[in-house]
Amino acid sequence: MYASKYNGCGNDFMIVDYKEDVNYSDLAIQLCHEAEQDTDGLIVVKNNPLEMLLFNKDGSQAPMCGNGIRCFTKYVRDEKLTHHTTIPVQTLAGEMTIDILSTDPFECKVNIGKADYRNDRFNAADHRSYINRTVEIDGKPVTFTSLFMGTVHTVVFVEDAKAMVKSDLGKKLCQHPLFKEQTNVNFVQVVNRKELIVRTFERGVGWTLACGTGCSASFVVARDSDLVDTRVHVHLEKGSLKIEGSDDIFMSGPAVFEKKIKLPIT
């Protein structure tokens, strides 16, 4: 059994073909924590129809990942599992449609779907609105908005998103009792109406270099707050993504193959 390592704007994954009788939660913990790999997650590829299963590095399963599905798409093209340029992919968040824009360098556009602010979509702990809601953490008020955008996301607007990586606020908000199954936390800095800077604390992972669904959620909340236009560039630590849309949300960005390794299982 082989695993391939890919990354999307630095958000990296081990990718394997699906096999019966493999505990993928355990495999994710094993693979993603090895010093040589140290990746954000494990992607399992099912074929006929194409389906993406995603496991975080702590072994938990996630519904979807924007950077992950771009890596998934490049993998299925590299392995010749499809020759199409428009590809439907099944995920736990529903079917996603990916359009391949370029093969060298590889870039694709993903229809992430529609944002959903309903509390029951992200297992909220109560029925109060999670839009512009304020909670006290360490004696200080934190205002946030939560929604479902491929998976659960929480958006916090800050003056300096890069500085938040040195803070433990991401972890504390991620694990706050308001979220029954934790939440991904995105710290968003509005540069202008066409640019955002985003840093994401990902549940089950920690600080990550990039989060495609997080960038999409950040764009939606900024757009709905009339802080940006309907198309933006989102700047990350190792690249940028294009996010756009007024109804369905579309994310465009790269994916890169790094290496293939043989696993000690058949």
For the annotated catalytic residues, the residue numbers are 65, 211
213 is in an annotated binding site: yes
Residue 90 CB neighbour total at 10 angstroms = 14
End-to-end CA distance of the chain: 5
DSSP sequence for 111-172: EEE--B--GGGTTBSSSS--SSEEEEETTEEEEEEEEESSSEEEEEE-S-TGGGGGSSHHHH
184 is in an annotated binding site: yes
203 is in an annotated binding site: yes
212 is in an annotated binding site: yes
Indicate if the alpha-carbon torsion angle 182, 213, 162, 165 is positive or negative.
positive
**Could you identify the residue written with the tokens 């779907």?**
113
Residues contributing to the annotated binding site for substrate: 11, 56, 66-67, 184, 202-203, 212-213
Residues contributing to the annotated binding site: 11, 56, 66-67, 184, 202-203, 212-213
